[in-house]
Structure 1
Amino acid sequence: MRCYGYDETGRQIIDAEATVIREVVKRVLDGDSMRSVVADLRAREVATSAGRPWTQQSLSRLLRNPRLAGLKTYLGEVVGDAPWPAIIDRDTHQQLLALLDAPERKQPHATNQRKYLLSGGFLVCGYPLPDETGTGTNIDGKPLYTQPSNSGKRGYVCRAGSPSYGCGRIRIAAESLEEEVAARALARLASPKIRARLERAVGSAKDGAATMERVLQAIDDRLAEAGQAYARREISLVTLTAIEAEAKREQKQVRERIAQAARLQALPATTPEGLSEWWVDAPLERRRELLALVLDRIIVKPATRAGASQLDLDRLEFVWK
């Protein structure tokens, strides 16, 4: 799918769309909210390059795009000047990034989320549940969510209510668990065998980066074609929804491979001492990225002793990549 503001080749500016971009940029830098800008674009029936109404997310992605400033990227990083003309200058691009990434624009829950190393699917519930036959057991398998205790201590829980509707019976303290997971993950990353496997993966990731970008482009094109077909009433809403669901699944897989390549290439020193020193000062998101290289998930089983003050390692089942 083409970038808004440029033609299908990506080399020529579409003047009408460039005018919209410059208008939006000025309004955002002048203090207008993304919500109000999007509402105005929708009211004026200004559509995206795919013919869809703008959202705050799609507009934010566009405004962050280095392409608008005449910059080319590789794996999400700016690597130099681009052969196409810029729609906005680089100073304006930097002002936009600084504004859009300002801490005060972040959602409140995002700040809380970053306090937890293992949020986002690393932990799953291991509470035993009867299987379909009634003769054995399965684990609950629902993701654990972050939730402080009544005393304010950080923890992870299996929620009985929305959004997961889990068992509601699993809780584990965050601090000691995160220390244990970090120690095991760092030791694993320092292993020559694991390091050799990761280095082979780096080479494969580099070789396949261009292919993955083309795959993403093909998926975007397929989505755009489906949207246009639906607009022409050539396919039903059910068919469009199915196409979009499959495309999103494929996009997620490809983007994870691209992200994996970037994480692999950013690996720090691999001795136990070097990794430990890096870990102490690394931002939480970088720690999580490093962890994702080797850890698939941890199954947390029920506590065997109520009120235990120390981490019970028997509760943990590590599933490594």
Structure 2
Amino acid sequence: MRCYGYDETGREVIEAEATVIREVVQRVLAGESMRSTVADLRARGVTTSAGRPWTQQSLSRLLRNPRLAGLKTYRGEVVGKGQWPAIIDRDTHKKLLALLDDPSRKQPYSTNVRKYLLSGGFLICGYPLPDENGPETHIDGKPLYTQPSNSGKRGYVCRSGSPSYGCGRIRIAADSLEEEVAARALARLASPKVRARLEAAVGSAADGNEHIGGVLEAIDERLEEAGQAYAKREISLVTLKAIEEQARNERRDLKEKLAQAARLQALPATTPEALAEWWVDAPLERRREMLALVLDRIIVKPASRAGVVHLDTDRLEFVWK
């Protein structure tokens, strides 16, 4: 994928996009928040090089990119001056990095520790949206995030703002949903047929760490060779990016296979009763690991009617592994 501000070759500036970059840089350095800047770009219909709406994450990645300052990198390290025109000067690039890396900009109580059972991608917004094919032809598809209600009750919501910029129209209570998901997941984990299928799916990963380790090393070697070929101008930037994308996908799939094998080995019990007993006192992360064995995602659809206090299971579309 091309870098915003440059054409597919990576060597020619697209002036309209460069103008946007310079404007954004000026606003951020002047103290405007990333949230406000992104909201403005989205409102104006300014999109990324892939045609997607900007997010705080994607804009931050762009502003950190040394390419904008005419700098060449290899494996994340600046290795010299590139053979393309800079959009911003190096001093401005340094100021941006210093600003974006300032610890005071980070949320003081932010943490990567999950506090909800289904946070982190298990839940997907199923609100129907229109497209060129007509009304309600596809779902929003954005992940749901944790958010308590005004009364403090735990819930999962589709956020209209950062970080997902979803429809903002889906909310579901956490407690009853988590109880339903746990009951269904434990039943599947106790099924010998399901366990056999899972073991077949991960193959010999449980006993094949050395083999997979060798495959990961081969991927790294392929990336290094591609980087050297690009440095010698034997391949284009587009080809290099394609190789890197394929390598990332292969590495992710292999690591997930290893993780699934480890989860299978750590399965604490095999009967429904024993699993349910273990679940009661298990740490949240262990529960999430067990869920990840069998659950890919749950699509949460709109409520059929307002004011319903019990869980409407018709809203839920389970996608099992």
**1:123–1:231 CA distance, 2 compared to 1 (3 A):** same
Measure the CA separation in 2 of the matches of 1:303 and 1:52. Answer: 46
- The 1-side partners of 2:153 and 2:266 are apart by 32
Cα separation, partners in 2 of 1:219 and 1:155, compared to 1, 3 Å:
same
Maintained 8 Å contact 2:158/2:167: yes
What TM-score results when the alignment is normalised by the length of structure 2? 0.62
What do the CA deviations read for 1:81-116 (whole angstroms, capped 9, x no partner)? xxxxxxxxxxxxxxxxxxxxxxxxxx84335x5111
Residue type at the aligned position of 1:121: G
**2-side partners of 1:183 and 1:168: how far apart?**
28
Looking at structure 1, the residues matched to 191 and 280 of structure 2 have their Cα atoms a distance apart, in angstroms, of 19
Shift in Å, 1:171: 0.6
Question: Is the contact made by 1:202 and 1:264 (CA closer than 8 Å) also made in structure 2?
Answer: no
C-alpha change, 1:197 and 1:51, in structure 2 (3 Å) is closer
CA contact (8 A) 1:146 1:155 kept: yes
Q: TM-score, normalised by structure 1?
A: 0.62
**What corresponds to 2:27 in structure 1?**
none
Q: What amino acid is aligned across from residue 314 of structure 1 in structure 2?
A: D
Q: Distance in 1 between matches of 2:230 and 2:311?
A: 55
**Cα–Cα, structure 1 residues 201 and 230, in superposed 2: closer, same or farther, change >3 Å?**
closer
2:77 pairs with 1:53: yes
Q: How many angstroms does 1:277 deviate by?
A: 1.7
SS at match of 2:317: strand
Structure 1: unaligned runs, 5 residues or longer: 1-49, 55-106
Deviation per residue, 1:164-189 (Å, 9 max, x gap): 22211001111111111011100111
For the 8 Å contact 2:199–2:261, the answer to whether it is kept is no
Deviation at 1:159, TM superposition (A): 1.6
Q: Is the 8 A contact 1:188 1:194 kept in 2?
A: yes
Larger displacement relative to structure 2 (307-316 or 193-202): 193-202
- List aligned pairs for 1:232-247, cutoff 5 A: 232-247=232-247
Q: How many angstroms apart in 2 are the aligned matches of 1:236 and 1:198? A: 41
| 2:297 pairs with 1:283 | no
Residues in 1 aligned to 2:255 and 2:218: alpha-carbon distance in whole angstroms: 13
Structure 2 runs not aligned, ≥5 long: 1-73, 79-107
Q: What's the counterpart of residue 211 of structure 1?
A: 211
CA deviations 1:117-137 (Å, max 9, x no partner) are 111211111111235422663
RMSD of aligned Cα (Å): 2.5
Q: In structure 1, how many angstroms separate the alpha carbons of the residues matched to 2:200 and 2:76? A: 41
User: C-alpha separation between the residues in 1 aligned to 2:111 and 2:171?
Assistant: 22
Match of residue 88 from structure 1: none
Deviation at 1:236, TM superposition (A): 3.6
Question: Cα offset for 1:225?
Answer: 1.8
- Counterpart secondary structure, 2:121: coil
Contact 2:129 2:135 in 1 (8 A): no
Per the alignment, residue 194 of structure 1 pairs with 194
Q: Alpha carbons of 1:292 and 1:301: their partners in 2 closer, same or farther (altered >3 Å)?
A: same
Equivalent residues in 2 for 1:10-49, closer than 5 Å:
none
Q: 1:243 to 1:203 in 2, by over 3 A?
A: closer
Instruction: Please give the alpha-carbon distance, in whole angstroms, between the structure 1 residues aligned to 2:75 and 2:297.
Output: 39
Q: Give the paired residue count.
A: 220
